[in-house]
Amino acid sequence: MNEVRSKRVRQADIAIRAGVSVSTVSRVLTNEPGISEAIRQHIFKVASDLGYAVKQAAETVPAALALIASDSATGGLSVFYEGIVEGLRAGAAERGMPFDIRLIREARTVPDHIREYLQAAGAQGLFLVGIDPSDELRIWLEDSSTPVVLVNGTDSRLRFDGVSPSNFFGAYAATRRLIDAGHRRILHLTGSHRQTILERIRGFEAAIASVEGCEGRIVPLTFRGSASAEAHAVTVAALAEDRSFTAAFCMNDFVAVGVLEAVMEMGLRVPDDFAIVGFDDLPCALMTNPRLATMRVDRAAIGREAIGLMTARFRDREAPARQVCHAVVPVPGGTLPPET
């Protein structure tokens, strides 16, 4: 180290010692966005150890506001959004981001109301949690250059940053679990206007199309009442019409509970006669007998990722939008035969 200190320290010296590229060192030392905080602090430490004069101005992070669809947050999916909020709060605290949360009915997600919410919170950035912006809101957000992150949401035209579970690949994997267990006629119970759920439908259809001889049927849900009760009713009706279907992939675990109750009341053995895979790994998946096979979503990680996206957006408001998808993990359960 003394030999290095005897001459002028170059960025190349820092790069060699830190084990990164010279361009990465340059971006960190000029405070460019897009570098993880761990790498940034590592390079600052190496540069300081080598005697390089490092100027780290204390970063003032603007405030952000999270708006959550009240129907989702106070209804059956409240437990899903609790995990996301936990991640948002923790991530904001770690990064020193002033942060506030408000519930809002989707009917009120119009520019005038959003502007009022942002002003009242003193916030520059906006998290839309479980909310797909309307065309009117999208245009206003773009025109006003408001930093936006869609949480548990995607923008099909990639105009805004977003983070979500890997809905397409998760649904594909869930359906393949049923196919790999020998099922060739599979129901998919689903229903929503949201882009995330439409991606699950596409994943289901892609998995069905991947194996010759497979047939899938979309069973629509309206969610005018209890998700489980409606799933129970439509499952009974679907199997009364055609008993050749032997499995179901459900858009979430609440729906899967209704399917499980229906097929067991019809005298079918689970999983021998009928197999079921849910999605989200909600607490209710642990309460059924047999336990639901499902797909785990790390909801807290989604919240933390959203904070990271907003921090990067504050640093560079002209950067291209990014969509981050978190993998979902298969969870074994008694509604599916043991997987090899």
- Residue 29's pLDDT band (boundaries 50, 70, 90)? confident
Reference 280, options 179, 211, 197; nearest CA is 197
Report the percent of the chain where pLDDT is more than 70: 92
**Domain match, 181 and 259 both:** yes
**Tell me: the pLDDT tens digits for 272-304?**
999 999 999 999 999 999 999 999 999 999 999
**Domain match, 198 and 149 both:** no
Domain of 306, in residue numbers: 64-165+299-324
**Domain match, 113 and 179 both:** no
Q: What are phi and psi of 218, to 5 degrees?
A: -80, 125
307 within domain boundaries: yes
- Residue 3's pLDDT band (boundaries 50, 70, 90)? very low
**Domain match, 121 and 156 both:** yes
330 within domain boundaries: no
SS (H, E, C) the chain: CHHHHCCCCCHHHHHHHHCCCHHHHHHHHCCCCCCCHHHHHHHHHHHHHCCCCCCCCCCCCCCEEEEEEHHHHHCCCHHHHHHHHHHHHHHHHHHCCCEEEEEECHHHCCHHHHHHHHHHHCCCEEEEECCCCCHHHHHHHHHCCCCEEEECCCCCCCCCEEEEECHHHHHHHHHHHHHHCCCCEEEEEECCCCHHHHHHHHHHHHHHHCCCCCEEEEEECCCCCCHHHHHHHHHHHHHHHCCCCCEEEECCHHHHHHHHHHHHHCCCCCCCCCEEECCECCHHHHCCCCCCEEEECCHHHHHHHHHHHHHHHHHCCCCCCCEEEECCEEECCCCCCCCC
Q: Once rounded to an integer, what is the mean pLDDT over residues 46-61?
A: 75
55 within domain boundaries: no
**Domain match, 280 and 306 both:** no
**Domain match, 281 and 306 both:** no
**Domain match, 112 and 258 both:** no
266 within domain boundaries: yes
Give the residue with greater pLDDT, 252 vs 79.
Answer: 252
Reference 313, options 98, 211, 161, 202; nearest CA is 161
**Domain match, 113 and 139 both:** yes
115 within domain boundaries: yes
**Domain match, 190 and 240 both:** yes
Report the percent of the chain where pLDDT is more than 90: 73
185 within domain boundaries: yes
**Tell me: the pLDDT tens digits for 67-113?**
998 876 666 678 889 999 999 999 999 888 999 999 998 888 999 99
**Domain match, 74 and 86 both:** yes
* pLDDT at site 32: 66
**CATH number, position 209:** 3.40.50.2300
Residue 6 has pLDDT above 70, yes or no: no
Whole-model pTM over 0.85? no
The total number of structural domains in the chain stands at 3
Give the residue with greater pLDDT, 180 vs 34.
Answer: 180
Residue 58 has pLDDT above 60, yes or no: no
* pLDDT at site 61: 84
334 within domain boundaries: no
**Domain match, 253 and 316 both:** no
Q: What are phi and psi of 93, to 5 degrees?
A: -65, -40
Reference 140, options 105, 113, 106; nearest CA is 113
**Domain match, 178 and 275 both:** yes
Residue 1: CB atoms within 10 Å:
9
Reference 260, options 191, 334, 323; nearest CA is 334
* pLDDT at site 5: 44
4 within domain boundaries: no
> How, if at all, do strands 185-190 and 247-250 pair?
parallel
